[in-house]
Amino acid sequence: MRGGWGSGIQLEGGDDRMHEADFQAVSPGYFRTVGMALLGGRELTAADRDGRQPVAVVNSEFARRFLPGADPLGRRLRRGSGPWLTIVGLVNDIRRQGKTGEITPQVYLSAAQTTLYPVRLSDLAVRASVEPRALLPSIQSAIWSIDKEQPVTNVRTLDEIVDLSVRLRRFQMLLLTAFAGVALALSLVGISGVLTYAVSRRTPEFGIRLALGSPSGRVLALVLRQAAVLIAAGLGVGVIAAWGLTRYLQSLLFEVRPHDVRIYASTAILLLVSALVASAIPARRAARVDPLTALRNE
C-alpha cells in the first residue's frame, strides 16, 4: 500500500522527546473502503477541511507505544513547528508493508486539510461488490470528467498488491521446498542403497538363519531394526540442525513459531515413515532369501 511518509512528532502534555510515526492523508470513507475498524471516536468527514480545526486519526499501535494506558481521543500532536492536531478517532492496525511488515504507529490526516501534509495524493482506493476490474471504465470516466488529461495507471486489486509484496518470499519458499524434496529423495535412495548393500553382504547369514528354522518375519525385523538405527541417527542430527537454523528460517515465516513442537514432530514422523518404506524393499528381499542358494554361494 502506497501514499505514506514518516515524520517526527511531539505530543502535547508530554516531555519534549520526538517520536517517529508514519503519516497518510486520506479522504472520508477510506477506513471502510480498506476494511479498517473504527475502535473509538469518529472517522474523518467532509467537514474536516482547510480553515477548520486540524484533526487526525491514529491506530492502536500509536496509542500503545506513545500513550500507554491513556485515552488518545482529545490528545494533540504536531509535526515540527506545524499546527497542533487533535486526535478524533482510533482505528485498528494494518501491516502497510505486507504480511511480514512491522506494525508501526500510524497517523491519518484529512486529505482536505492540504496545508498539513507535504505530498501530493495520487492513489485511489475503491471497494467493489462485483468483479473489481469491471468497474475500471466507470472509474476512468469519473476521473476524466474532472480532468481529461489525468492518466489512470497502475491499476491493481488488493489481492494482486498482496501477491506482489510476498512474491520474493514465495519464490524463496518454493526453492526451499524443492531443495527439501530433493534432499528427501536422496536420503531415501541412500538408505535403500546402504541396506541393499548390507543385505547382500549378510545373505549367507540370512540363509543360515532361515535354514535353521528362523521365521522370515524375524529376518525382516532384523533388517528393519538396523535401518531404524540409521534413521534415528539421521533424525537426531536433522532436528538439532533444524533447531539451530531457526534464526534464519524465522525471516521466512509469517505468524508461525520457529520452535513449534508440532511441526518438528509431524516432520519427524513423515521422515520416519518415508525411510521405513524405503527400507522395506531390501528387508523383504532379505526375508525371501533361498537358504540353499545362499549356502551354495557361500
Could you state, in order of their start, the residue ranges of all structural domains in the chain? 4-125, 127-156, 166-297
- Measure Cα distances from 123 to 2, 22, 41, 79, 126 in Å: 8, 17, 26, 23, 10
Grouping H, G, I as helix, E, B as strand and the rest as coil, residue 108 is: strand
For each successive 10 residues of the chain (298 residues), what is the average pLDDT?
78 81 92 92 94 95 92 91 93 82 90 87 87 92 92 88 82 89 88 81 75 78 83 87 77 70 86 85 76 61
Q: How far is CA 23 from its chain centroid? A: 25
Grid coordinates representing 44 are 474523518
* Whole-number Å distance between alpha carbons of 205 and 193: 19
pLDDT of residue 122: 82
- Measure Cα distances from 133 to 124, 138, 140, 155, 258 in Å: 14, 10, 11, 9, 39
* Whole-number Å distance between alpha carbons of 63 and 19: 12
Using only C-alpha atoms, the chain has a radius of gyration, in whole angstroms, of 33
Q: Which residue has the cell 531390501?
A: 282
pLDDT of residue 82: 86
Q: Which residues fall within 8 angstroms of residue 32, CB to CB, at 6 or more apart?
A: 43, 127
- Measure Cα distances from 171 to 28, 42, 164, 263 in Å: 38, 42, 11, 21
Q: Which residues fall within 8 angstroms of residue 216, CB to CB, at 6 or more apart?
A: 210, 287, 288
